[in-house]
């Protein structure tokens, strides 16, 4: 290969690695690797076991999982916050390398190109690098 072709190939590889976000997903009985990209979005859906109301948590994949927002009813939001603060205002500033949820009633996760559903168990998604 010529030097210009190698340089272009190297530049393309650096660009790909800058948007690539590999992640490990684990459940109680399964583990796998996900190929995610910066800018993709995700949603976690479950039913709050106390209020029996649906909850949806939306987020974006950036350097980390970030830009969170909650969609639920007022009673469930008050359950999480005791009515002391706005749930969306609080979570919108958060970012994390890992998402961890457990549910007896079920968890639905849409993440980039992937969709998962888990009933009566735990789910963890961990980004393998942060940059």
Give the tens place of pLDDT for each residue, 59-110: 999 989 999 999 999 999 999 898 888 888 888 889 999 999 888 888 999 9
Q: What angle do CA 56, 100, 89 make, to 5 degrees?
A: 50
Coil vs helix vs strand at 51: coil
Coil vs helix vs strand at 26: strand
What is the distance between the alpha carbons of residues 56 and 46, in angstroms, rounded to a whole number?
7
- Residue from 48, 43, 57, 131 nearest 92 by CA: 57
Report pLDDT for 37: 92
* Domain assignments of the chain as residue spans, ordered by start: 21-127
Q: Which two tokens stand for residue 2?
A: 């010529």
Q: Within its chain, how far is the Cα of 23 from the centroid?
A: 10
pLDDT band, very low/low/confident/very high, at 4 (cuts 50, 70, 90)? confident
């Amino acid at each position: 290969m010529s030097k210009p072709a190698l340089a272009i190939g190297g530049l393309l590889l650096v660009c790909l690695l800058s948007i690539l976000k590999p992640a490990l997903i684990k459940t109680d009985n399964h583990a796998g690797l996900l190929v995610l990209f910066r800018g993709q979005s995700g949603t976690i859906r479950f039913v709050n076991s106390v209020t029996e109301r649906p909850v949806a948590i939306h987020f974006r994949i950036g350097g980390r999982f970030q830009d969170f927002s909650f969609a639920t009813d007022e009673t469930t939001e008050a359950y999480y916050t005791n009515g002391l603060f706005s749930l969306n205002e609080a979570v919108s500033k958060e970012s994390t390398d890992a998402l961890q949820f457990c549910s007896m009633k079920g968890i639905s996760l849409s993440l980039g190109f992937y969709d998962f559903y888990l009933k009566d168990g735990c789910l963890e998604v961990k980004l393998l690098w942060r940059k």
